[in-house]
Structure 1
């Protein structure tokens, strides 16, 4: 997801001046020279423009963006817009970006700082003072009631199980992965999944694997809290960005997603789990019920989900075209083969896989898919 880190001017990055986001940013800023971007991010084309709107004497830079066309969305979206969620969270959750409207355009405050991942990359421990700030936000989220949040929800009734129905909540996430990721793209990627040992029966095995979750009262979930969505400002404060995947549901799922994406060292992962349980129980009794038993199951779901999304992403990321040198394609295939082998090995228990291809076999499967595309 989008992190608040810019990648230079649009001219330098080669972004077409015809994009709506670029034209709007230029118009708001009064010229091309003040516009920075696009930001690093997958789903949106985003620019940063300075605007003097509040007279507070601090940097006033704002994000102007639009969705990139033709992209796959691999995660369920439950609110009409991220901006509505962020606006509704003002005063409820610590350090979310401010949202404004000017000239008929909705803008989100650009947080001046660096991503957490820039200073503490995957596998590196996160300082305790920053983990405590993450815990505070978990505590603020778990007490938010759906009726108290003004942002419009767009989930279907089936995707809004009754409070505490954690099993049904997870079932709807599995159904989304099955229908909107695997089956929707089966015509193009079904052969690749089969070559990697993944078939339709994997979802039946996954459902059996994650049965029996404890009931927990629902709260608001960020559902994408990772190192690139956490911005550290100049005063050492964490800001929480990218609320597009927010939803109401099982609070333990938010922890599972966080742990899965953060890749804490093992010792810190255990400590974070203990801190989370104490924190949410202190403000919402029952929110951590059965967490020791259920967290491994939810982590297994996240590993399984990653297989279906990352197989497609890895295939689409391969360099193509007659101008691509053979050694460049071979290197990309080899790297993707290692990645998919690792993903499939970790997801083998929840998906019930009896065959996990070697890195070489996974690379070969990708090459065969590419040649037949």
Structure 2
């Protein structure tokens, strides 16, 4: 790789690594370009870090589309604050003004137990233990700088207001912000600006619940099982303060548990959070369904955009790639059609035709 093509994150990693040839990366990940390496003796001394282990150096990817609202100014600052409050989260150190996270050795839960497979009870109980710890972190006890403005923060306990702000983010930052490029495609799929009015009506009526810390992205690839069988929660980039039931809904939506294990997780979660902060599961029987429907609706807009990015930029689009993208869009639209009020669900061939038109208009390319 020529020197001018080496990213700043890669250069920093090489400079801090005890062995520049031992730098691993960039790791797969949507939000950041990440490298892993062992620290030099001098860097360990500066950071007062013990011997052994590897560390992560990263920087945000350029021209990245953010589909989820971020609450905290810095993930590393948040993790530093959580060291004594949440059991297994990555340690954070600082070397030459750069904050590094410890790299958790092991495998993701998804690599060991893929989506749809049951989670072994030992790991299942550790996930519940994580929820036990996060629900105990009340907003007024977490002194971490926040990036969101006051107008974007719902009053304490206002779960309906919390969800409305999430819907507004999806509407403004995903739909409207990308409408110049995607409005026609969305329209062909039965979606328009009124979809959000219908969504708000569909999810109206949430009960109030005391706010707490939410991971907000707790899925199988963000859970690491180390060689000793301990479960670690990573990637707190999307963490926020809000309705605890939203964290459960997001977790269930992303984890794809078998039906019986999803029900067990819901029952155990309700028991645990009520022990820690009474009222945290209030109204869950009605509201969990509403929050899950919001997640399905949100995914329609985000996954359509992500899927089109997989089609490439021309000069020709592969038939197999188009068919795979069509299945993905049809599947996510089928799940989100009801909360978004889609009156006439397009078939698979109609979705494929819509994607083909969008691709041709954007690139001028043919099949």
User: What band does the TM-score fall into relative to the shorter chain?
Assistant: over 0.9
One of 101, 110, 113 as aligned partner of 1:108: 101
1:370 and 2:363 matched: no
**Contact 1:334–1:360 (CA under 8 A) maintained in structure 2:** no
3-state SS of the aligned residue for 1:100?
A: strand
1:175 alignment counterpart: 168
Measure how far apart 1:30 and its partner are: 4.7
One of 227, 239, 242 as aligned partner of 1:234: 227
One of 306, 327, 332 as aligned partner of 1:343: 332
3-state SS of the aligned residue for 1:272?
A: helix
Offset from partner CA, 1:309-345 (integer Å, 9 cap, x none): 01111111112323x5x5xx21111011111111111
- The range that moved more, 352-361 or 295-304, is 352-361
3-state SS of the aligned residue for 2:118?
A: coil
3-state SS of the aligned residue for 1:286?
A: coil
Measure how far apart 1:157 and its partner are: 1.1
- The range that moved more, 157-166 or 14-23, is 14-23
**Contact 2:19–2:38 (CA under 8 A) maintained in structure 1:** no
1:209-224 counterparts in 2 under 5 A?
A: 209-224=202-217
Offset from partner CA, 1:108-162 (integer Å, 9 cap, x none): 0000000000011010000111111111111111121222212211111122111
One of 10, 14, 17 as aligned partner of 1:26: 14
CA distance change for structure 1 residues 341 and 26 in 2, over 3 Å: closer, same or farther? same
CA distance change for structure 1 residues 304 and 16 in 2, over 3 Å: closer, same or farther? farther
Offset from partner CA, 1:4-29 (integer Å, 9 cap, x none): xxxxxxx6xx9975211000000001
1:182-331 counterparts in 2 under 5 A?
A: 182-322=175-315, 329-331=318-320
Offset from partner CA, 1:152-182 (integer Å, 9 cap, x none): 1111112211111000000000000000100
1:145 alignment counterpart: 138
1:125 alignment counterpart: 118
**Contact 1:217–1:250 (CA under 8 A) maintained in structure 2:** yes
1:37 alignment counterpart: 25
CA distance change for structure 1 residues 94 and 191 in 2, over 3 Å: closer, same or farther? same
Distance in 1 separating the partners of 2:29 and 2:49: 30
The size of the alignment, in residue pairs, is 356
Two-structure CA RMSD over aligned residues (Å): 1.5
The TM-score with structure 2 as length reference comes to 0.94
CA distance change for structure 1 residues 15 and 81 in 2, over 3 Å: closer, same or farther? farther
3-state SS of the aligned residue for 1:220?
A: strand
Structure 2: segments with no counterpart, 5+ residues:
363-367
**Contact 2:297–2:340 (CA under 8 A) maintained in structure 1:** yes
One of 151, 154, 178 as aligned partner of 2:147: 154
1:136 alignment counterpart: 129
2:87 alignment counterpart: 94
Structure 1 residue runs of 4 or more that deviate by more than 4 Å after TM superposition: 14-17, 54-57
Structure 1: segments with no counterpart, 5+ residues:
1-10
Offset from partner CA, 1:58-102 (integer Å, 9 cap, x none): x32000000010010000011101111111101100100000001
Distance in 2 separating the partners of 1:150 and 1:20: 30
Offset from partner CA, 1:262-319 (integer Å, 9 cap, x none): 0111111111100100010011111011111110100000000000101111111112
Distance in 1 separating the partners of 2:31 and 2:156: 31
